Structure 1
Amino acid sequence: MGDLLGAGRAPRARLRELLAGPAPLVAPGAYDALSARLVEQAGFDAVYMTGFGTTASLIGRPDVGLLSGAEMVDNARRIAAAVDVPVIADADTGYGNALNVVRTVQLYEQAGVAGIQLEDQVMPKKCGHMSGKALVGTEEMAGKVRAAAAARRDPDLVLIARTDAVAVSGVDDALERARAYAEAGADLLFVEAPTTEADVERVAGELAGVAPLVFNWAEGGRTPPLSLQRMTELGFALVIYPIGTLLAATAGIRALLDGLRTEGVPPLDGLPTFGEFTDLVGLPEVTDLEQRFAG
């Protein structure tokens, strides 16, 4: 748990250790500090900061490139401070050209994240499972990856290069781009939104040995929902579940508000009590610190 007086762990080294394990690292999505704490309390070893969920929670809008890099970094900072497990953060396109990527990487690193994800879309970008995406050239994106690798001050910061080419120019181009990004210095490769299990198998097979791979188990998205066992067999190093927490929170809030509107009282069955919730967000630690430092 990310205590107020933390132990100063090394989440970046820990992330690299987890990614080198025999099974995929599972990283559920978090859209704010509270959802990140819940992911950690559930026993997961890493948190994925979703850009989709960040946009929805901060401004109530779709993931179509509306947030600035500063807004994303601020959310990453709050999430990283709330937990002890490594945080992998969506950094969209890097918010500009290769020079902008340099500053983006440094700001995310200062925010305390253990890994960042950069993608090869034209800015303003769109969620990888939406239509209407456009790509920058392969060489331009490779230059951004080289800039990101040169910009990090901590060599353990994990760089994930994502290509959205499957939906725009096909699997062949996606594979070619992924290889170029690995050569440019990406630590992990993320081929977004293959639409069939055969395409997932092809990506895993043809990129085996090039770099560790990311699988996006996008809830309700275009990629078939493979089992964790199958993803293990295919050799994926990281599996993200980006928006399940956001969807669950939306469903829960809707149900509560519907009950309040129709019955005049909010339905509280199944909800944590006030005391349970304050424990969850760290009130006992605050009480102990008050007593420890009382004048």
Structure 2
Amino acid sequence: MSKDTLKKMLEREQLFVPCVYDCISARVAEKCGYKAIFLSGGAISYSQNGLPDMGFSTADEMIEISNRITSCTNIPLIVDADDGYGESPIVVYHTIQRLLKAGAQGFCIDDAGGYRGFERKVAAKENDTQYIQACVPREVWLAKVKACVEACKNTDCVIIARTEVSDLNEAIERCIRARMLGADMTLIVRAMHTLEDGKKVAKYDSGWKMWPDVYSVNGVPNVKLNDVKPLGFNLVTFHVFEKAALYGMLHYGMGNMKTGNNLYSELQVSDNLRLKEEIEQILGFDYTKWLEREIY
């Protein structure tokens, strides 16, 4: 197990965290040297249900997958808990308690309402790149944040108050209010896109902040880690493993389809013995330790 909790790590350093969606992606992240992982609601929807990120995942699914991941990895897990999977704060309280029992060391709780997910097309288009998100009233979301704070009493769990409102000033106000209630970290998703936006947020919200999903446009990252670190963004996430898995499966699958056997993929792995050993470790081929525990 990791000696430090997520909260202790964040007190010491900025964490660059990949999004995961199952045991294999989580173990790969750990093998790559990442110090924490983020369970993505969108990635769960794609991988587990074959559906777009529009709120199809349930609390039971997220809790079950969280439990599986924390049972096979040694680094902290942060969970995308959406809106807490309920309208009532007491339901949110119960959801968070269940996530804590599943081993989560951090989670996001957001103010989205109605249609959900990255593909959601609510109201009108904005600059042809972003869709306006329908959000619950400020007081409704803050009641959920307060419930989360109560559920996490006497724990080291990191509460990330996530707002999806599209107006930056309102987003900042919501973050400030959530922090006053006891949220450890804030996250602005729809209203913050550039480093200048981040500077404005940091001017009014000086505590821990999460920068959501660093991405690149025409080969240029939208922000650099060292630029947002001084602004208090000590948690930065990004999506890589879904894309890597898809590319790998298509690449090897089509190669084997052409040859009518598995030599294409086998030869590429066999040519790199270190890679082969690491893959076997990730997949859990350390079967000898289990055989030693076999009871005859």
What range is the shorter-chain TM-score in? 0.7 to 0.9
Residue 112 of structure 2 corresponds to residue 121 of structure 1 = yes
User: Is the 1:63–1:127 contact (alpha carbons within 8 Å) kept by the matching residues of 2?
Assistant: yes
Match of 1:171 among 156, 168, 171: 168
Over the aligned positions, Cα root-mean-square deviation in angstroms equals 2.4
**Unpaired runs of at least 5, structure 1:** 1-6
Could you say which residue in structure 2 is the equivalent of 1:30?
20
1:58 matched to 2:55? The reply is no
The size of the alignment, in residue pairs, is 277
In structure 1, C-alpha distance between the alignment counterparts of 2:114 and 2:214, rounded to whole Å: 21
Per-residue deviation, residues 50-87 of structure 1 (Å, max 9, x unmatched): 11111111011111101111111111111111111110
Q: 1:52 to 1:270 in 2, by over 3 A?
A: farther
Which protein, 1 or 2, shows the higher relative CO under an 8 Å CA cutoff with sep ≥ 6? 1
- CA distance in structure 2 between the aligned counterparts of 1:59 and 1:220, rounded to whole angstroms: 27
Contact 1:94–1:104, Cα closer than 8 Å, also in 2: yes
Aligned-pair CA distance for 1:225: 2.1
Relative distance call for 1:89 and 1:31 in structure 2 (3 A) is: same
Cα deviation, residue 96, structure 1: 1.2
**Residue in 2 aligned with 1:133?**
133
Tell me the equivalent position of 2:126.
none
* Distance apart, 1:265 and its partner CA: 3.9
Q: Deviations over 1:251-291 (max 9, x none)?
A: 1112122223344345315447776533322322x312322
Residue in 1 that maps onto 2:99: 108
1:69/1:95 contact within 8 Å kept: yes
Quote the Cα distance in structure 2 between the aligned partners of 1:99 and 1:175: 26
Q: Hey, what does 2:124 align to over in structure 1?
A: none
1:217 to 1:139, Cα distance in 2 relative to 1, 3 A: same
TM-score, normalised by the number of residues in structure 1 = 0.86
Q: Which residue of the other structure, out of 220, 229, 232, is the alignment partner of 1:232?
A: 229
SS in 2 for 1:93: coil
- 1:81-100 map, 5 Å: 81-97=71-87, 98-100=89-91
Which shifted more, 260-269 or 58-67? 260-269
Which amino acid in the other structure matches residue 254 of structure 2?
D
CA shift in 2, pair 1:248/1:136, >3 Å: same
AA in 1 matched with 2:21: Y
Q: Which runs of 5+ in 2 are unaligned?
A: 120-128
TM-score normalised by structure 2 residue count: 0.85
Aligned equivalent of 2:242: 246
CA shift digits 1:18-40 (9 cap, x unpaired)? 1101x311111111111000101
Q: Which residue of 2 aligns with 1:264?
A: 260
Rounded Cα–Cα distance in structure 2 between residues aligned with 1:123 and 1:105:
21
Q: Partner amino acid for 1:141?
A: W
How many percent identity over aligned positions? 27
Query: Distance between the aligned counterparts of 2:153 and 2:201, measured in 1?
Result: 31
- Cα distance in 2 for partners of 1:112, 1:93 equals 19
Conserved? CA contact 1:213–1:237, under 8 Å: yes
Residues 220 and 76 from structure 1, CA distance in 2 versus in 1: closer, same or farther, beyond 3 angstroms?
farther
Q: 1:156 to 1:218 in 2, by over 3 A?
A: same
Following superposition, the deviation at residue 42 of structure 1 comes to 0.9
Alignment of 1:180-199 (within 5 A): 180-193=177-190, 194-199=192-197
